[in-house]
Structure 1
């Protein structure tokens, strides 16, 4: 189980509030990493959360806890995540439109769908409605993935 992950955003508070809204959860400040950081808690209150740092924050190793420091770097990132929601596609599109975030339906390999949302035009997340979650869980298994790799590039499994 993944308990939490972190991303950065232009407006960390607003982004955490919107993610919490999609999850039916709560957004709260997260000062341990740095003032201006926020967390979106899942509505199930099971410890699952998304930490949202102000854009430019990097985590730095210290002798005690990691701390957030600001750094100049490009806005793009390889970091993305898929999150579940109990809301409808229409609700998700309306929330994204309200925030000025691009959102579109995508089929991943023709196997399962996601709503791809671009926070601040540079941070991609995937939102899965209940129907999409069922498709994902039916598709993304170790056995299915192994079969796909064997069909596409069997030499990768031989290594």
Structure 2
């Protein structure tokens, strides 16, 4: 189960507000890491959330008995970090929001198994959004047993 995920954005508040909109949730400031951080809450029974940090933030390990902290000053255009998140909206509604924001988005079928809307926040950070129908496909196909069967059919080298 995913409780929360963090991403970086040029406009953390705006990105958190749009993600919260996809979920029907709420975006709020998130000061524990560093100034300018926001968090999008889904408002669901799992307390699902996505933290959105300023683009030049990196997390650092603290010495001794202290929490990790955010440090500003590191930026890159793309990252391997992404998330697949549920949305209460329809595909058309998601694509309309993406168009409004000027963010690239398109429907994709992952491995002929389940559909996603591949959305590029600020044109650089991928998020996969799954509508109700796409979520049903995902749950029906993305299981440990199915993953093992796929690996057995097409072995990969470690």
**CA positional deviation for 1:46:** 3.2
Q: Deviations over 1:10-56 (max 9, x none)?
A: 10000000000000001000001011000000122532100000001
Report the equivalent of 1:153: 155
Report the equivalent of 2:96: 94
Report the equivalent of 2:40: 40
**CA positional deviation for 1:100:** 1.0
TM-score normalised by structure 1 residue count: 0.94
TM-score normalised by structure 2 residue count: 0.95
**Unaligned runs of at least 5 residues, structure 2:** none
Decide which moves more: 39-48 or 49-58: 39-48
Of the three residues 48, 64, 67, the one matched with 1:65 is: 67
User: CA 1:155–1:68 in structure 2 vs 1: closer, same or farther (change >3 Å)?
Assistant: closer
Q: Whole-Å Cα distance in 1 between the matches of residues 54 and 75 of structure 2?
A: 13
**Unaligned runs of at least 5 residues, structure 1:** none
Q: Whole-Å Cα distance in 2 between the matches of residues 45 and 13 of structure 1?
A: 23
Q: Whole-Å Cα distance in 1 between the matches of residues 44 and 128 of structure 2?
A: 19
Query: Alignment length, in residue pairs?
Result: 156
**CA root-mean-square deviation:** 1.3
